[in-house]
Structure formats: C-alpha cells, structure tokens
Chains A and B, each alone.
Chain A
Amino acid sequence: MRNRAIPAATIAVLLAAGPALAQDLTVVSFGGAYQAGQSKALFQPAAAAMGIKLKEETYTGIADLRLKVRANAVTWDIVTSGSGSAARAGAEGILEKLDYKLIDVSSFLPGTAQEYCVGGDVFSTVLAWNTKTYGDKGPQSWADFWDVKKFPGKRSYRNGVAGSLEPALMADGVPMDKVYATLSAPGGIERAIRKIKELKPHIAVWWSSGAQHAQLMKDGEVDMINGWNGRFDVIAKDGAKVAYTFNQALLDYDCYAIAKGAPNKDRAMKFLAEISKPQYQAEFTKYITYGPTNKKAYDLGTIDAEYAKKLPSHPDNAARQLPVDLAWYIQNEAKAAAAYQNMLTE
C-alpha cells in the first residue's frame, strides 16, 4: 500500500499543476490572412490591455467545437465564427449566452449582436473575376456569372449551400429584395438548385475553403468565382489579376462567441467587451477589407475616407447588397444542404 501512495501523490501533483500551466485565455479562428489581422489588431492588443496571457489556435469551423463540447473536452474560450453557424450553434446549446450588460453594442449595426455571438467584422460574398481574361469588362451581376455566351470561361462555385442559393435566384431574375421570400416559398430551394445545375458543366472547381478559393484565383485556375471579398483584396495586393463587385453581393458578418463550458468564461466575456470597442475594430480594417460592426469605428478618424469606400459595410456598398437572412438559415439550412449535396453528386 505504501509504495502505491507515491504514484497517486505524483498524479495529484500533476493534476494540480495542470490548470496552473494553462493559458489565461484561448481564442480560436480560421487562420490565414484573416487571423493574422485579428491577432495584430484585436487579440494581442486587447490581451495586453487586460494584462492576460493569450493563446491562439486555428480551426476549420463550428463542427470542431461541437466535437469538443460533446466530448466534454473544451479547451477554447472564444471562437470566431460565421454568423449563421453561430446562430445554429447557439440554438443547439454549444455556446454560452453573452452578457450584453458587459459588452457595449449600443452603436453596433442592427442585427450584428446575437444572443450567443457578438459581431466582429462585416464581409461580403462577392462575384470576382480574372482581370486578365475579361479586362475592364468584367461581369457585373449574377446573371452575367450565369451567362456563358457573353462571358466564356471557367467558373468556380462554393461546394456548400451557405451563400450559394441566393445568387442563383438573382441570376434567374428574382429581384434582390425578394430572394428570401422566394426561397421560403414552396419550390424555392428547388428553383435555385435547378439554376445551379444549369451552370454545372461550366463549373470547373467546387471550392471548399477561403484559402482554396483565393489560391484558385491567384493561380488563374478559374476565370470567375463567388467568394469572400477580403481574401481577394489580399491576393490582389500580392499581384493576382483579380477584381470584384459589391453588386448583388451577400452582406454577412463574422462574430465572436464563448464555447459552452469554456475554462475561463468570465474572463472571456470581459475580453469580448474589450475587442468590441471601436478602436480595435477600426484597426482591424487595416489588415483586411472587412468592415467594422461598431459604427463608432468610422467616427474615430483612423479609417481613411478613401479606404472606407472599399469596405463591405460602407453605406454606398451596403446599399447594393443583400443582407444574409440568418432566420432563413436556421430554419432551412439542413434541408437545403441535403438538396445541394444531391445536386453535387449528380
């Protein structure tokens, strides 16, 4: 018995040392140019302001968090997420409710502060094209994207349903403000999918990630694509022949949430309150062309007026776009995703 007590004591010491070795706070995001910007503009300065030690990790999406929560092995405090996935994840019970007495969202764009996720930046799913192929006469609408006679060339389209059905309906002649009403009506999803099927022979690649779709344009693998505006600006800065339009783009936002059972929940809440302040959001726009969700960020004078015109949430740009309807996704995404998968394998 005596010799057994020693390993037991050792284990006890190791267990006790565990939490002490852990970080003060762990945040997770999508990597790439996006997270690099978050790190420099938001995460590290906010951690320094709060005097805490911060650890950053990368992940592919909310499904990874779901695995951790279900396995009772949550090591992340804060997760970056798309608005739609966060809404679903919140409804599913894998996120903590946010405390808006602590986080000041009084000057946020309407709808960008959800129960479980507070908006961080506004981005657009745009139509982008290769300027070497089309010169100044690039496609300007989803109808052009579908018009293979006027704009011959290889297309790439997302391999998931999020943000994929709306452009198809607009190409099919549905006015922008009627898109979600049409999708909600019986046969709406089928109509969008039929339209995509029509274009299928011209879609060379079904892209699956932001890094991949940027690479496809950079390498000139395809001539036209739907995708996230900030990624295209990053590769354009690197010399890629790419341009895009905000016409008929989908206006969406990324947000920050707290994982259910996060090891440092209270500290995470304070951290979210910190990074939601306008000065951080204004700084973030310098790294990638995603706009602030906090309107006060524009009042600080740190965002150059010319540069502000390139941001998705600039009023001139926002007016030409369709805001993504989260309620529609919460209700219909599973059904639409199954139909989309069927279309892909056909």
Chain B
Amino acid sequence: MTAIAERPNAAGLRRDAFLERLALFGLGSPALLLVLVAMVLPVGWLFWLSFLADDGSPSLEHYRRMWQEPSYGRTFFVTFQVSLLTTGICIVVGYPLAYVLSQLPRRAANLAMIGVLLPFWTSLLVRTYAWLVLLQRQGLVNQWGIELGLWSEPLALVHNLQGTLVGMVHIMLPFLILPVYGSMRAIDRDYLKAAANLGAGPVGAFWKVFFPLSLPGLFGGALIVFILCLGFYVTPAVLGGGRVIMVSNRIATDIELFFNWGAASALGVVLLGLTLALLYVASRLVRLDRVLGGGH
C-alpha cells in the first residue's frame, strides 16, 4: 500500500474524511454530553466525597469503617451472592426458553416474544408486590399447595432469600432471553446441517456447533443481568423481609440514619470497583468486546 504514489486529490479526500468524522462527532455529542453530565460528573463527585470526613477534611475513615465493621463485608457478600444466584437461575431457565423460541417459525416466535416482553411493560414495583401477595403465608401459592395436599403447613416462600430470588429472576429474565435469542437466530442453520452430514447426532450437533455459537449472546445476557442485579433496591427491600440487605439497601439506611454522604459514597465506590474488577476477570476469560458488540 505504501508503495502507491499519492493521488492528486488525496488532500481533498483527507479533508472530506475529517469533515465527515467531525459531523459524526457532532451527531454523537448530545449523547456524549449527557453521559458526561449525568454519569461522569456525579460519579466523580461521589468518588471525591467518599474521601472526605464529616468535617470536610480528606480522610480514609469511610473505607476504614467498611473494613472494620463486619456488617459491611456481609452486605457485599449478600449482594454478590444474590446477583450470582439470580444470573445462574436466569441462565438455566432462560437459555432453553430462548432455544425453543429460536426454533419456532418467525411468526410464532414473535407472538411468544410478546409473552416474554409483557412483564417488561409493567412497573417493577407492581410486579414485586404481586409476588408478595402470591407468596406470603396466606397467599395464593400456599393456599393452593395446602388445598391440593402438596404440603400441610404454610411454607416460608417470601421475606427471605428464596422470595427475593423469585422476584429478581422474574424481572431479569427478559434481559437474558433477548440477547441469547438474538444470537441464536443469527446462527446459520447450514452449520447444523453440515454437522449432521458429517455424522453428528442432534445432541452432538447442538453441543459441538450450536452451543458454542450461541455463547457470545449468553455471556452478554448474563453480564447484563449480573450487573443490573448488583444495584437492586426495591425487590430485596420488599421480598427480603429485612433479611436480604444488599448494598443499595445499606446505602439508603446509612443516608437515613447518619446522613453521611461520604459513607454512602464509599459504599458505591467499592461496589463499582468490585464490579469493574469482576468485568476485568470476565474479559480475561471471554472476549468481552465480542459480547458487548464493540470491535471485531
């Protein structure tokens, strides 16, 4: 390439290319500005606050307290535990569903997709309270279970970890199904035919060909679910019975009780740090850029 002599209009082309890039940047600038104003500045401000003591002098006391008080460590543990469990259940439930949908004819799949998306259009708060009504001691599930003779004493289905997981999986499921379904639809059926042609049975073709090709969608979906779970507030507050205390709930209590922006900010910073560290580890294991759609 370098050997080719410069064309006479090269300068003009370069200028045009520059202008085009500038125009594109101009189009993107409202979004960039929004990210800057709504994301970078507030997060930066919280970061700054987390290093200030109550009297405004620089200090690490908020981080030290988090280290010394065992309850903070447990809060982080619960946050990651709940998020991981939710993600795991979403994968186990969502992947087969996405597979079934991807095998349906387009029209039927679109109809079924409405079923997946329908809960999306209902407020998160409403869905959370609906679960509370269904799962409580005198709720529908316990009533039916006892009437059908499946169990004799009301089960503790809510106000605990299980209840929280039910609510969170229900809310998170579409976030997993959509990307998985998208990547499954994009798989060329000819690959499967080729595999069959080479002697693979349906199971072998699935595991050796289909499954690996669907992985980017699965990783993407799982990552979105996991990260969204880390910030959950309403669902654990309502369905956890005060026992499932995640970082967001802890931030709310700290603000209410102590009105301490610094302490709350430090919690946010640590959660952000841990999440980024986890993303980094995940990116070592899988090609994140492919999952998230950037790069080639």
CA A66 to CA B258, docked complex, whole Å? 11
| Chain A residue nearest to B252 in the complex (CB) | A63
Inter-subunit contact B138/A338 (CB<8 Å): no
- In angstroms, Cα B138 to Cα A207, docked, is 18
A-binding segment of B171-179, B183-191, B240-248: B240-248
A219-B136, A334-B258, A346-B74 as given contacts; A204 in contact with B156, CB under 8 Å:
yes
Residue of A nearest to B78 (CB): A345
Judged by a CB distance under 8 angstroms, whether B103 is at the interface is no
Report yes or no: B256 in contact with A204, Cβ–Cβ below 8 A.
no
In the bound complex, do residue B71 and residue A342 qualify as a contact, i.e. CB atoms below 8 Å apart?
yes
**Cβ of A337: which chain B residues have Cβ within 8 Å of it?**
257-258
Does B170 sit within 8 A of A, measured CB to CB? Answer: no
Residues of A317-346 contacting chain B, CB below 8 A: 334, 337-338, 341-342, 344-346
* Residue B69 CB within 8 A of the other chain: yes
* A221 vs B238: C-alpha distance when bound (angstroms): 14
Interface size class of B (residues with CB under 8 A): 20 to 34
With A346-B71, A346-B74 in contact, do A66 and B242 touch (Cβ < 8 Å)?
A: no
Contact: A344 with B258, CB < 8 Å? no
CA distance A17 to B256 in the complex (A): 35
- Give the residues from 199 to 213 in chain A that come closer than 8 angstroms, CB to CB, to chain B: 204-208
Residues of A near B136 (CB, < 8 A) are 219, 221
Q: Which residue on B lies nearest to A92, using beta carbons?
A: B259
- List residues of chain B with CB within 8 A of the CB of A204: 156, 159, 241
Contact of A205 among B69, B75, B159, B258 (CB under 8 A): B159
> Once bound together, how far apart are the Cα atoms of A220 and B138, in whole Å?
7
Contact B243 A206 (CB under 8 A): yes
- Decide: B138 and A344 in contact? CB cutoff 8 A: no
**Of all chain A residues, which has the CB nearest B260?**
A334
CB neighbours (8 Å) of A208 from chain B are 237, 242
Does A63 contact B71, Cβ atoms closer than 8 Å? Answer: no
Q: Which residues on the A side are within 8 Å of B242 (C-beta)?
A: 159, 205-208, 344
Smallest beta-carbon distance A171→chain B, Å: 20
B217 to A: closest C-beta gap in Å: 36
Query: Among A61, A222, A345, which residue has its beta carbon within 8 angstroms of that of B256?
Result: A61
List B251-267 residues whose CB lies under 8 Å from chain A: 253, 255-259
**In whole angstroms, what is the CA distance A222 to B159 when docked?**
11
List residues of chain A with CB within 8 A of the CB of B256.
61, 63
Q: Mark B111-124, 1 if CB is under 8 A from A, else 0.
A: 00000000000000
A345 and B138 contact, Cβ closer than 8 Å, known pairs A204-B156, A204-B159: no
Indicate if B295 sits at the interface (CB-CB under 8 A). Answer: no
Listed from nearest, the 7 A-B pairs whose CB atoms lie closest are A206-B242, A345-B71, A159-B242, A205-B241, A342-B71, A63-B256, A345-B74
- Show 18 A/B contacts (Cβ-Cβ < 8 Å), sorted by A: A63-B255, A63-B259, A204-B159, A206-B241, A206-B242, A206-B243, A219-B136, A219-B137, A221-B136, A221-B137, A221-B138, A334-B258, A341-B71, A341-B253, A341-B257, A342-B70, A344-B243, A346-B74
Which residues of B are in contact with A by a Cβ distance under 8 Å?
Answer: 69-71, 74-75, 78, 136-138, 156, 159, 237, 241-243, 245, 250, 253, 255-259
- Known contacts A344-B243, A345-B75; can you find 17 more A-B pairs with CB under 8 A? A159-B242, A204-B241, A205-B159, A205-B241, A205-B242, A206-B241, A208-B237, A220-B137, A221-B138, A221-B159, A334-B257, A334-B258, A341-B71, A341-B250, A341-B253, A345-B71, A345-B74
